[in-house]
Structure 1
Amino acid sequence: MSGPVTVGAISGARLTLGFDRFERLDLDRHQAVHGRLATPGLDEVSRLAEQVDLRGRGGAGFPFARKLAAVAARLDRGGDPLPEERRGRRVPAEDAVVVVNGAEGEPGSAKDRVLLTRAPHLVLDGAQIAAAALGTERVVVAVEDDGAARSVRAAIAERRLPARVVRLAERFVSGESGAVIRAVNGGTPIPPGVKVRASDAGVDGCPTLLSNTETFAQLAVLTSLGPDLYAAVGTPDEPGTTLLTVGGTRVIEAPLGTRLADVLASCDTPADQAVLVGGYHGQWLGPERVARAGLSRRGMRAVGGTVGAGIILPLPDGTCPLGEVTRIASYLAAQSAGQCGPCRLGLPDVVRALNALADGGGSVDDVRRAAGIGRGRGACSHPDGTARFVLSALEAFEADVETHRWGGSCGRPTFGVLPLPVPTGEESRVAIDWSRCDGHGLCAYLVPELIQLDRYGFPVVLGTDVPSWMERDVQRAVAMCPALALRITGGA
């Protein structure tokens, strides 16, 4: 998302403290609001993080103290534990790297952009706290948004920090940890096919501590307040606050455990509708579950949802739910890295099954079968996340799905209310000139991800943008079409 975003807080601000007075906190304002930077030693930082069970806020919820310990272990004698006499002291290892993952490729999220543009020093405080604990000054901030990049560069200059900003391409999978490391190392920002821990070999092959933007801001607040004050809000097992993006245009700071219905009410959004929690790799909740949901890991598990990266997308009445789900599934299929079968072939099959269901010619079982083929076998979490999104929609919108299945339509248009990136003009699609097509079928052989044959042998084109990794294959198919019927439409 790149449009205007409003910011609010429920039960007091922490990460967003000062936002009611200042559009952006420069270094002087930041220090007046949050105090000066403190850099406790490794043991103290680990103890603080463990005491409040600080978790990553990028979606996976991995314990921060375990990430820190993994990097520290790799820095000393090839990964052996630190000897007792050196515990609690800074580790003298110049090669450690701290990476702030500010890649916010998901269209429904804006919280990290808000932090980086309005409170960049809070994020940099957290990064410096972690870096000092690991005995390094190497800090990298990876961002996608132009405004965020300018804000962070200005903040780095203000505090004379030896850090650098790396720009990432705005893609859904760019924020995956392996993709970020590859981008910082000068490669293409896509997930690696083989899982490599950043703590083992990250930036320049060095042990790397990589975590989400909000996570570092939370570390700064925790260090400033101390564990007792930090835990004064939230739940006993999940203390503190979290940032939520509601509807793609509102960022709300709320204590963990806050009722989802209360968050929606603070945004003047009725709670009697289906809500997507956790973003496009998350799950749909029907109104009954929305009423019972609490915004914590435990509260969301109880209703079959997830907090994820804090994305909350209500679906208003009037638009076709199945049409909206199909629209997002098409986007997710085109955003894959194309490195494995579940992405290359599985996700397009999910889109085809959804399209058939929406037209009344398919079945729920077809969608379930397509979504389940590649689960657990992808090169990254993208196929599993997309399957979770689609399968939860079948349950949340069961009545609408049945209407489509029997009537071919629910009678409502698809307004496109779920956020997607604004087109850049560089997107392209495959089209068929039917006055020329003779049904040779070569195109389906060359690009089966986008084209399949119907029972008469004529091509059926998947209505998604051409993924960047398929551009060369599509151009080859166009050039080889015997009837010169294949076209590429759009594009810069």
Structure 2
Amino acid sequence: MNAPLPDVPEVRVVGLPQLTQGFDLVERLDLGLHLKVHGPLEPIAGELLARLTEEISLRGRGGAGFPFGRKLRAVAASAIRRGVRPVVVVNGSEGEPACRKDTVLLNRSPHLVLDGALLAAEALGARTLVVAVTRDSTEISIRAALAERGLSDRRGQRMRARVVRTPERMVSGEASAVVRAINGGPALPPGRRVRAAESGVGGAPTLLSNAETFAQLAVAARIGARRYSRTGTAAEPGTVLLTISGAVARPMVVEVPTGVPLRYVLQLAGAPPAPEGVLTGGYHGEWIGSAAVHEAVVSRDSLASVGGSLGAGAILPIGPDTCPLGEALRVAHWLAAESAGQCGPCRLGLPAAAGGLADVVNGGGPTALEALREVTRALKGRGACKHPDGSARFFASTLSAFTDDLAAHVLYGGCGRETQGVLPLPLPDHRDAAELTQSSERIVIDWTRCQGHGLCADVVPELIRINPDGYPSVADVVVPVQLRGRAQRAVRRCPALAMRIEQTDPPEPDRAPRPALPAAHRRELGSGPQHGLR
């Protein structure tokens, strides 16, 4: 428990391997063995390559799922319009603790990824290739692969290639953060929406996608659209790489055809036969319950139809012997600490949401729950990057998926189970995040004095909002340390002297488990994680 995943976990395959072909022979395919296993790859003209990606419905495998053909055409059009050569970037920056599929590819089959990237570069007329990575092992593997191909960043080469190292952080893998790091800046989103296809590395149009996407392109270019589409579903042909961790006997990366039942993949990793819930898509993803697990197959559309998401390909089940809200709280603290600190929703809203969830878990009652929902709603659509939106999705899914446990914590102060910490996190970062987001102060309003001036909401909107009746609604959560100064300012600015900050007892870190709810109470509160608490 509480152990981070290794750089390269166990790798399994369901059916015939495509991306993982040759993994049964060696730990890493060098260039010679790569060519023996996969065969040579001939260049493909730009229009033909775009058609190929459209025929196989290739989408980005980094989380957003954007159609690769549209991205390819957009970069080509921008380069032609501006009269400049584009740049190709392989995004191997896996900063999420639950994801290892790109790291596995770059460590064990780096030339398959480079094949796809160089194929796209040739089709676009690009002369610069950049590979962004986060880990030592990945950097060593990619540098060796470039050397085996005779590629470097020396001037005068027809194709210049280099490796850029980014920090192992959630926000550092975001496309704009990767471009910013390559351009010599910090590996953080720039705080404004910029399309890499228009202006990316060095201001040039940039084709940026993750390692698995380029590897899929290399496989499809070798075997053709018809043969590629024989595997998987008609709507989403081919295979996908999944990272399976959480409450499993064997954390692994598995290559699986689309259309395979999700429950089979979980059984392969040794997950509980009736999981309490399964987090799909990683820490920016969504929870599904046991019933949905038995309905879903591995595909973007199928998971979405049961309330889940494929996202970055991370699948994390948890068992019935751990507190799901406690597990979510650990992730919430980590998400808050991963903030780029460049916009209010990320710098202030995420710590407030993590503190609000802590208040709910520790028996804050219905008012704390409603305050958390208000904070979560306030995060959506206001961030400078996708981190606040993804985190808000995780919070909202947690509140809607585990209604029995949520009711137990809200109405009875606990669900009777300890938090075992089965979701992988970097332990030091998690502890620091918890310390940063919790405090022992709370805003209180004296309603006999409040006159509805609304100045408090202007000062600290993350904690105070104005209701339709003109009076403030205060989030009944502990004040995050980042908001302490503004909360005090809101108190001082109140003309009616109706506000104050009170000290509360901090939650006990190792509190004894609450007694379990009687079975009758649990039935009254809903029959499963798919029901909403009303």
Fold-level similarity (TM above 0.5): yes
**Aligned counterparts, 1:179-198, within 5 A:** 179-198=177-196
* Deviates further, 103-112 or 287-296: 287-296
SS of aligned partner of 2:331: helix
- Which residue pairs with 2:301 in the alignment? 298
Within the candidate set 391, 406, 410, 1:401 is matched to 406
Take 2:223 and 2:213, find their aligned partners in 1: how far apart are those partners? 15
**Aligned counterparts, 1:329-478, within 5 A:** 329-363=332-366, 364-423=369-428, 427=432, 429=435, 447-448=482-483, 457-458=501-502
Q: Is residue 99 from structure 1 mapped to residue 103 from structure 2 by the alignment?
A: no
Distance 1:77 1:354, change over 3 A: closer
Take 2:190 and 2:240, find their aligned partners in 1: how far apart are those partners? 30
Asked whether the equivalents of residues 451 and 459 of structure 1 are also in contact (C-alpha less than 8 Å), the reply is no
Q: Is residue 202 from structure 1 mapped to residue 200 from structure 2 by the alignment?
A: yes
- Which residue pairs with 1:47 in the alignment? 51
Deviation at 1:268, TM superposition (A): 2.2
Deviation at 1:400, TM superposition (A): 0.9
Asked whether the equivalents of residues 439 and 481 of structure 2 are also in contact (C-alpha less than 8 Å), the reply is no
- Which residue pairs with 1:16 in the alignment? 20
SS of aligned partner of 1:54: coil
Deviations 1:314-372 (A, max 9, x none): 01232211111111111101111122221122212211221111111133322211100
**Aligned counterparts, 1:145-294, within 5 A:** 145-161=135-151, 162-247=160-245, 249-273=251-275, 274-294=277-297
Deviations 1:368-417 (A, max 9, x none): 11100121111111111111111111222111111111221222221211
Take 2:230 and 2:436, find their aligned partners in 1: how far apart are those partners? 56
Deviation at 1:449, TM superposition (A): 6.5
SS of aligned partner of 1:314: strand
Asked whether the equivalents of residues 439 and 506 of structure 2 are also in contact (C-alpha less than 8 Å), the reply is no
Distance 1:450 1:346, change over 3 A: farther
Asked whether the equivalents of residues 5 and 424 of structure 2 are also in contact (C-alpha less than 8 Å), the reply is no
Q: Is residue 59 from structure 1 mapped to residue 63 from structure 2 by the alignment?
A: yes
Distance 1:433 1:227, change over 3 A: closer
SS of aligned partner of 2:60: coil
Counterpart code for 1:345: L
Asked whether the equivalents of residues 110 and 142 of structure 2 are also in contact (C-alpha less than 8 Å), the reply is yes
Take 1:30 and 1:343, find their aligned partners in 2: how far apart are those partners? 43
Asked whether the equivalents of residues 345 and 449 of structure 1 are also in contact (C-alpha less than 8 Å), the reply is no
How many residues are aligned here? 440
**Aligned counterparts, 1:131-142, within 5 A:** 131-142=121-132
Q: Is residue 123 from structure 1 mapped to residue 113 from structure 2 by the alignment?
A: yes
* Deviates further, 21-30 or 312-321: 312-321
Give the TM-score normalised by structure 2: 0.78
Asked whether the equivalents of residues 52 and 227 of structure 1 are also in contact (C-alpha less than 8 Å), the reply is yes
Take 2:380 and 2:217, find their aligned partners in 1: how far apart are those partners? 34
Deviations 1:179-223 (A, max 9, x none): 000011111111121111101110011111000110000000010
Take 2:134 and 2:119, find their aligned partners in 1: how far apart are those partners? 24
| RMSD between superposed Cα atoms in Å | 2.5
Take 1:106 and 1:136, find their aligned partners in 2: how far apart are those partners? 30
Deviation at 1:459, TM superposition (A): 5.8
Distance 1:426 1:370, change over 3 A: closer
- Which residue pairs with 1:83 in the alignment? none
- Which residue pairs with 1:474 in the alignment? none
Counterpart code for 1:293: A
Q: Unaligned stretches of 5+ in structure 2?
A: 152-159, 441-478, 492-498, 508-534
Within the candidate set 292, 310, 315, 1:312 is matched to 315
Take 1:99 and 1:297, find their aligned partners in 2: how far apart are those partners? 24
Distance 1:452 1:323, change over 3 A: farther
Counterpart code for 2:74: A
SS of aligned partner of 1:243: strand
Take 2:80 and 2:500, find their aligned partners in 1: how far apart are those partners? 66
Give the TM-score normalised by structure 1: 0.85
* Deviates further, 165-174 or 34-43: 34-43
Counterpart code for 1:210: L
Deviation at 1:53, TM superposition (A): 1.1
Take 1:344 and 1:78, find their aligned partners in 2: how far apart are those partners? 37
Counterpart code for 2:333: S
Asked whether the equivalents of residues 243 and 254 of structure 1 are also in contact (C-alpha less than 8 Å), the reply is yes
SS of aligned partner of 1:312: strand
Deviation at 1:426, TM superposition (A): 11
SS of aligned partner of 2:370: helix
Take 2:91 and 2:481, find their aligned partners in 1: how far apart are those partners? 37
Deviation at 1:14, TM superposition (A): 0.5
Deviation at 1:112, TM superposition (A): 0.5
Distance 1:264 1:447, change over 3 A: closer
Counterpart code for 1:110: R
Take 2:421 and 2:485, find their aligned partners in 1: how far apart are those partners? 22
Q: State the 4+ residue runs in structure 1 displaced beyond 3 angstroms.
A: 424-434, 444-447, 449-463
Asked whether the equivalents of residues 280 and 286 of structure 2 are also in contact (C-alpha less than 8 Å), the reply is yes
Within the candidate set 11, 34, 40, 2:38 is matched to 34
Distance 1:405 1:462, change over 3 A: same
Q: Unaligned stretches of 5+ in structure 1?
A: 80-92, 435-443, 464-492
